[in-house]
Amino acid sequence: MKKINLGVLVSGGGSNLQSIIDSIERGRLDAVIRVVISNVPGVRALERSKTHNIPAVLIDPENFSTREEFDREVVAVLKIHCVDLVIMAGFMRILTPVLLKAFPMKIMNIHPALLPSFQGLHVQQKAFDYGVKFSGCTVHFADEGVDTGPIIIQAVVPVYDDDTADALQQRILKEEHRIYPQAIQFYADGRLEIDGRKVHIKDPGTMETPGMHNPPLEKF
Ligand code: GAR
């Protein structure tokens, strides 16, 4: 089977990058990471790339006067490495049309909330402070909005009475590491059909838990 070529964009720790690397190394994901691009110097994600012999490139925004120029450089690096699918893995920048048009519906993002709730930054804390009973994470195609593109897959986690925002963040991150490789494999298998805002998965498995309640229902 032909493997898809990934370009992964990062800005930080790179635990999602690591989950993709691990899935590939375990033979569960038919993909090759051709290049990792960071917009932040010295981040752990760059070290992780080097450990796994993946080409890693720093593109420092300070060297570019506009966001479009920065994105043009990102596109150039992705094209040199023959990337098919772009993976934003904790990449903390808003994309310009330069990047979006170069990879139409070929850019995925992961967000640590159940979109469309809690778009933007620090959303685990915001969901916790709001008092939601469930939160989670979302993989979606990127578009010109912030966290607004068509949703591919979501995972739900409970928020407990005695929770902390930090514990919630870790619970969400654990699910991120499961759904991102799955979304990429759906793509690699050609099982994603985009229909306006909706992304249909060909031949989805059966859901074990079609309804969830938190706190659990008692007599109902
Ligand atoms: C992840 O929780 C990811 O969902 C979030 O940043 C973290 C990166 O962690 N992304 C966003 O908030 C984008 N809006 P990582 O560097 O360990 O993968």
Chain segment 183-199, per-residue pLDDT in tens: 999 999 999 999 999 99
**Residues in the chain where the model's pLDDT stays below 50:** none
| Sign of the torsion formed by the C-alpha atoms of 52, 23, 38 and 173 | negative
pLDDT at res. 165:
97
> pTM of the full predicted structure?
0.97
Q: Which CATH number fits domain 109-203: 3.10.180.10, 2.40.110.10, 3.40.50.170, 3.40.50.1460?
A: 3.40.50.170
Point out the ligand 1 atom lying closest to the alpha carbon of residue 111.
4
Delimit the domains of the chain by residue range. 1-104, 109-203
User: Can you tell me the distance from the alpha carbon of 189 to that of 101, in angstroms, rounded to the nearest whole number?
Assistant: 23
Beta-sheet pairing, 192-195 with 198-201: antiparallel
Which helix or strand (DSSP H or E) is residue 71 part of?
Answer: helix 67-80
pLDDT of amino acid 195: 97
Distance between CA 29 and CA 3 in Å, rounded?
Answer: 9
pLDDT at 207: 77
Tell how far the Cα of 121 is from the centroid of ligand 1, in angstroms. Answer: 10
Output the pLDDT for position 211. 84
> Does the domain at residues 1-104 carry the CATH identifier 3.10.20.600?
no
pLDDT at 208: 76
90 ligand 1 Cβ < 6 A: yes
Ligand 1 atom nearest the C-alpha of 169 is: 2
Which among 111, 107, 112, 115 has a CA at the least distance from the CA of 87?
107
Digit-coded pLDDT (tens) for 108-150: 999 999 999 999 999 999 999 999 999 999 999 999 999 999 9
